[in-house]
Structure 1
């Protein structure tokens, strides 16, 4: 049996002067797109940060694509993350002084990959953004910025794509459109999608869920 994309056991995390948060064990197979549900304050973002290697748990283990993140030094963890994990945050965080095309070329470079402009154009075409390659972030609408963030996150075909509340600021039409595009493009890239949300509009499209309380 192949390694799961995500496997955790007995994770806990404690912020200074706060009680320790215990998390359920998570097991996600390749292609098993998953929702992480929970009200504000239940630790959704904290868990995402641990799964993405952005912070380390106090106890327990996180394995991504078979690699135990706790065994990696900070520099090796940075490299592993750039090659195997993609992130979509609520805000796009594109570099304002670079065009859309330049932002995505930079993502390829930072992962140590050869810049492939043809591949970038293919991804942007799938996201209906190929006419915006020369645009700067301040020239894009909110929906276009969100799609640009998706393009940047999938360009390196990460094993795991983590999306933190990707539809929170979008209306119903854009929510459905972004979700449809997101599911289509992760399947093309061979990535597995993990979304945190309390957006009830998207629950019906996922069969696997974890609820934080």
Structure 2
């Protein structure tokens, strides 16, 4: 059992610092960070354009669609997709996701913006309660969003990051992928699709 590696933490796949993000794209620092986020947005928009193909559907008692996709990178973690209709416009839904997490996340304990990097980019920290005896889960993510997409759609992408301004408030989860695509589907109604891949450790 000691040789099993079921966690990204055990495999030393820990979140990168801001200045390290995007290094694989030919740069680091602020420019590399922006490149990394833009690549994430582009990947999300491509999936949305392709109607999120390639996922295997799952049954759920909730009024939502649930599906997953296997990622062939040596980790057993799946990429999950959930979609639900919300009685609000895309920008209102985006505001709720960004600024009103306590309204829809019943396990949220606290949240704060650690650093603002631009009009639509920030480092955000939040902690979530978990079922005993599991410890509190601490999340520290770099996130950016856009609201000027065709047909009034909005998008938000997040990924874990290391930051000196955020003290550890529990077991630090590794958010490998968290992407939201919000599109209008009828009058004052939106379809929210969330794609996520998280190592809760």
Same fold (TM over 0.5): no
Give TM-score scaled by structure 1 length.
0.27
Structure that is richer in helix per residue: 1
Using CA pairs under 8 Å that are at least 6 residues apart, name the structure with larger relative contact order, 1 or 2.
1
Structure that is richer in strand per residue: 2
Give TM-score scaled by structure 2 length.
0.28
